[in-house]
Chains A and B, each alone.
Chain A
Amino acid sequence: MQDSEGHIVAKDITIAYGDFVVQRDLNFTVNRGDVFIIMGGSGCGKSTLLKVMIGLKEPAKGDILYEDTPFWASGEGKREAMKRKFGTLFQSGALWSSMTLAENVALALKQYTSLDEAEIRDVVAYKLMLVGLAGFEDYYPNEISGGMKKRAGLARAMALDPEILFFDEPSAGLDPISARLLDDLILELRDSLGTTVVVVTHELASIFAIGNNSVFLDADAKTQLATGDPVELRDSHPNELVRTFLRRGAPEASAA
Chain B
Amino acid sequence: MNAALTCTVTPDETLAVTLTGDWLLDAELPGIEPVIAQLQQTPAPAAVTFDTSGLGDWDTGLVSRLVSIRRCAEANGVSLDDDGLPDGARQLIALAFAVSEREGARRKARDIGVLEGIGEKTLRVVSRSRDLLAFVGELMLSFGRLFRGKATYLRSDLVQYIQEAGAEALPIVSLISFLIGMIFAFVGVMQLENFGAGIYTADLVAVAMVREMAPIMTAIIMAGRTGAAYAAQIGTMKVNEEVDALTTLGMDPVDFLVTPRVIALIVMLPMLTLYGSLMGILGGAFVGLSMLDVSLVQYATQTVNSVGLNSLLGGLFKSVVYGSLVAIAGCQQGLACGNSAMAVGESTTRAVVMGIVLIVVSASILTVIYINLGI
Contacts and interface: CB of A to CB of B under 8 A. Distances in A.
A136 B64 contact: no
Contacts of B338: 142
A138 interface: yes
Nearest to B88: A192
A99 B340 CA distance: 11
A160 B60 CA distance: 8
B101 A135 contact: yes
Interface stretch (A7-15, A123-131, A237-245): A123-131
A43 interface: no
B232 to A, nearest CB: 15
Interface of B: 25-26, 59-61, 63-65, 67-68, 87-89, 91-92, 95-102, 105-107, 109, 338-343
A59 B97 CA distance: 42
Contact of A193 (B92, B98, B107): B92
Contacts of B341: 97-98
Given A122-B64, A126-B67, A161-B25, A132 B107 contact: no
B191 to A, nearest CB: 50
B97 A129 contact: yes
Interface in A134-163: 134-142, 160-161
A175 to B, nearest CB: 16
Given A185-B95, A192-B91, 13 more contacts: A97-B341, A113-B25, A114-B26, A125-B67, A127-B60, A130-B92, A130-B95, A135-B101, A137-B106, A141-B340, A142-B338, A160-B25, A192-B89
A194 interface: yes
A132 B109 CA distance: 22
B101 A191 contact: no
A108 to B, nearest CB: 11
A114 B61 CA distance: 12
B95 A122 contact: no
Nearest to A113: B26
Listed from nearest, the 4 A-B pairs whose CB atoms lie closest are: A97-B340, A132-B99, A129-B96, A135-B105
Nearest to B341: A97
25 contacts: A98-B340, A98-B342, A115-B25, A122-B64, A126-B64, A126-B96, A127-B64, A129-B67, A129-B96, A134-B99, A134-B100, A134-B101, A134-B102, A135-B101, A135-B102, A136-B102, A136-B105, A138-B109, A141-B340, A142-B339, A161-B59, A161-B60, A185-B95, A188-B91, A192-B95
A126 B340 contact: no
Interface of A: 97-98, 113-115, 119, 122-123, 125-127, 129-130, 132, 134-142, 160-161, 185, 188, 191-194
B340 A188 contact: no
Nearest to A194: B88
Given A125-B67, A138-B107, A193 B88 contact: yes
Contacts of B98: 132
A19 B125 CA distance: 55
B88 A188 contact: no
Nearest to B92: A192
Nearest to B345: A98
B20 to A, nearest CB: 20
A140 B87 CA distance: 34
A126 B340 CA distance: 26
A126 B92 CA distance: 10
A161 B58 CA distance: 11
Contacts of B342: 97-98
B274 to A, nearest CB: 42
Nearest to A124: B64
Contacts of A125: 64, 67
B95 A188 contact: yes
A126 B60 contact: yes
A129 B68 CA distance: 11
Given A115-B25, A122-B65, A192-B91, A142 B340 contact: yes
A99 to B, nearest CB: 9
A161 to B, nearest CB: 5
Contacts of A137: 106
Contacts of A194: 88
Scoring B87, B100, B340 by chain A CB atoms within 10 A of each residue's CB, the highest score goes to B340
Given A142-B340, A161-B25, A126 B63 contact: yes
B91 A135 contact: no
Contact of B60 (A123, A140, A142): A123
A188 B92 CA distance: 8
Contacts of A113: 25-26
Contacts of A193: 88, 92
B64 A123 contact: yes
Contacts of B65: 122
A40 B221 CA distance: 50
B91 A191 contact: yes
Contacts of B340: 97-98, 140-142
Nearest to B24: A161
Nearest to A158: B60
A191 B97 CA distance: 17
Nearest to A128: B96
B95 to A, nearest CB: 6
